[in-house]
Amino acid sequence: MNAPFDATTAFGPDAAIQPAPDHQIAVIGLGYIGLPTAAVLASYGWDVCGVDVSNHVVETVNAGGVHIEERDLDRLVGEAISSQRLVASTLVPAAHYYMIAVPTPLGPDNAPDISYVEAAARSIAPNILPGACIIVESTSPVGTTERVAQIIADIRPDLNMPKFGAETGGDIAIAYCPERVLPGKIVQELVNNDRVVGGMTPDCAESAAALYKSFVKGDCLVTNSRVAETVKLVENSFRDVNIAFANELSMIADEIGVDVWDVIRLANRHPRVNILQPGPGVGGHCIAVDPWFLVAGAPKSARIVRTAREVNDHKAVHTERRIRALISAAPDAKVALLGLAFKPDIDDFRESPALEIAENLCADLGERVLAVEPFTEKLPKGLEGTGAVLTGLDAALSEAEIVVVLVDHSAFKHLTPADLAGKLVFDTRGMLKK
C-alpha cells in the first residue's frame, strides 16, 4: 500500500526537498468540483491532499464532513478521511499531480476573472519538481492554461517549460481537463462521463490522461489545451442557447396567447425537434456564466451566444412582471413561491432566478411572501430580514391566494390543478401540466 500524505513532512517550505511519490495528488479548491474529485480519487487509491484557503472548509473535511450538499458526497468524504487517503490543508504540498479546481467568476462587464487560477499557479510554483503535472479543471477563457505555464515559468526559471504546440514536453506537464459533471449527479458523472484532456503538448496531454484513466469509466479524449478550453465553453453555451430558445418561445406564446407547454410537447413529436423546457430564467454558476467567456474571446462573432444570455436573463424580468400582474389582481393576497433553488432537487442558490425574483418581490411585499423551499432550513441570504416567511407547502397553500411554481422540486410534483382550485396560479416550469 502507498504511504498517505504525511501532514508533518509533505507541506510547507521544506516539502520540495523530496520528490513527491507518483501516487500523490494535490487538489486545489475544495468546492463543488474539487471536493468530490478529491474524494473520488481517494476512493480509487490515490493519496490526495485537498487544499483550500478557508480554514472552515479544511477543518470540516479533516473531520470527515462536507460543507456542500451533493448526493453520496458525505459518505465518500467520510470514507476517504477514515482511510487516510484524503487529508485537507491550507498549504499546497509537493505532489506528483496538481489539479486546479477554483472558481472563475465574472468580473465587471461580464469579463472573466481568472485571478483564483493565477493564485493557485503561484502557490504551486515554489514546490513543483520535474516530472510533475499540473491540470486546470476550472472553466476558463481560452489561453488560461498557457497563462498558468507563464506564471510558473516566471517564478521557476530553472524549469524547462512545455511550449504550446511543440511536439514534446518540458520538465513538467501542463494540461487542461474541464469538469463536466451535473450538480446533483456529480459523484456518478465524475466516473462515468467521457473526459476531454488538452495538453500544452501531446506529452502533457498523455501525462494528464494517465490520471483520468485511473478512475474514469468513460473515454479520455486527448487534444490540445486551447481546444479543450473551448470545448467546455461551447458545451455550456450550447445548452444556454437551447434553453434561450425555449424561454423565448414561452414569451412569444404569452404574447400571442397560446399554451407553450402544448406547443413544445407537440413540436417535440417531430423526429428531429427536441425543444428544452422554459423556466423562470437560467441559474447556477455554469450556464449563466460560461457563455460570457466565449463572448469575451470573440465579441463580434459570438452573436447568438450573447443574445441567448440576454434572453435567459430577461426571462427572469418577464417572470417577475407576470407575477406582479397577478398581485395587481389581488392586491392584499399572500403569495406562495414554490422553490428558490436554481434548479429542481438541489440546495444550490447560486445565480438562482427564483431567488432573485423572490428578493425583488420581498422589497415591496415583505411578509406577504411565503417561501417554500424544502432544501433549506433557513431563508437564503438575500431574503434574510426582508420579512419573507419560510414555511411548509401545506401551510403556504392554505394561506396564499397566489401560487407561483418557480422550481419543480420532486416534493411539489404531487400537486394537481385541482389542489390549487380558486387560487391565482402561475406555473413557470409547466409542472402542473406534466
Residue number with CB closer to ligand SAJ (91 or 304): 304
- Residue type at 285? H
CA angle 276, 350, 141 (to 5 degrees): 80
CA distance 93 to 24: 9
Minimum Å distance from CB 40 to ligand SAJ?
15
Residues that bind ligand SAJ (CB under 6 A): 139, 179-183, 235-236, 239, 243, 246, 276-277, 279, 282-284, 286-287, 342-343
Spatial distance between the Cα atoms of 427 and 425, rounded to a whole number of angstroms: 6
Tell the smallest beta-carbon distance from residue 94 to ligand SAJ (Å): 29
Q: Please list, in sequence order, all residues whose beta carbon lies within 8 angstroms of the beta carbon of residue 51, skipping any fewer than 6 positions away.
A: 26, 27, 28, 29, 30, 88, 89, 90, 91, 92, 93, 123
Q: Of 222 and 282, which has the nearer Cβ to ligand SAJ? A: 282
DSSP 369-429: EEEE-TT-SS--GGGTTS--EE--HHHHHHH-SEEEE-S--GGGTT--GGGGTTSEEEETT
What is the smallest separation between the CB atom of 306 and ligand SAJ, expressed in angstroms? 17
Q: Which residues pair with 28 in a beta bridge?
A: 51, 100
The conformational region for residue 84 under phi > 0 = left, psi -120 to 50 = alpha, else beta, is: left
Hey, what's the cell of 195? 473526459
- HSE-CB at 248 with a 13 A cutoff on CA atoms is 13
Nearer to ligand SAJ, 199 or 280 (CB): 280
For ligand SAJ, give the closer residue by CB, 239 or 322. Answer: 239
Q: What's the min distance (Å) between Cβ of 412 and ligand SAJ?
A: 14
Q: Which residues are catalytic?
A: 232, 286
Residue 179 or 203 having the CB closest to ligand SAJ? 179
- Looking at beta carbons only, is 182 or 298 nearer to ligand SAJ? 182
Considering the complex, state which of residue 185 and residue 324 has its C-beta at the smaller distance from ligand SAJ.
Answer: 185
> For strand 173-176 and strand 195-199, is the pairing parallel, antiparallel, or unpaired?
antiparallel
Minimum separation from the CB atom of position 281 to ligand SAJ (A): 7
CB of 351 to ligand SAJ, least distance (A): 8
Nearest 5°: phi and psi at 399? Answer: -95, -30
Sheet containing 24-28: give its strands across. 86-89, 47-51, 24-28, 97-100, 133-136, 173-176, 195-199, 220-224
- Residue 206 vs 408, nearer CB to ligand SAJ: 408
Which are the contacts of 348, defined by CB distance < 8 A and separation ≥ 6? 32, 69, 183, 284, 285, 341, 342
Q: Which amino acid is at 415?
A: L
**48 phi, psi to nearest 5 deg:** -120, 130
Q: Provide the minimum distance between the beta carbon of 249 and ligand SAJ in the complex, in angstroms, as a whole number.
A: 11
Least gap, CB of 342 to ligand SAJ (angstroms): 5
Contact call for residues 278 and 246 (beta carbons, < 8 A)? yes
Exposed e or buried b per residue across 166-196, where buried means at least 16 C-beta atoms within 10 angstroms of its C-beta: eeebbebbbbbbbbbbebbebbebbeebebb
Could you give the CA distance from residue 1 to residue 17 in angstroms, rounded to a whole number? 23
Phi-psi region of 366 (alpha: psi -120 to 50; beta: other; left: phi over 0): left
Q: How far apart are CA 101 and CA 117, in angstroms?
A: 8
**Residue nearer to ligand SAJ on the CB measure, 112 or 162:** 112
Q: How far is the CB of 134 from ligand SAJ (least distance, A)?
A: 20
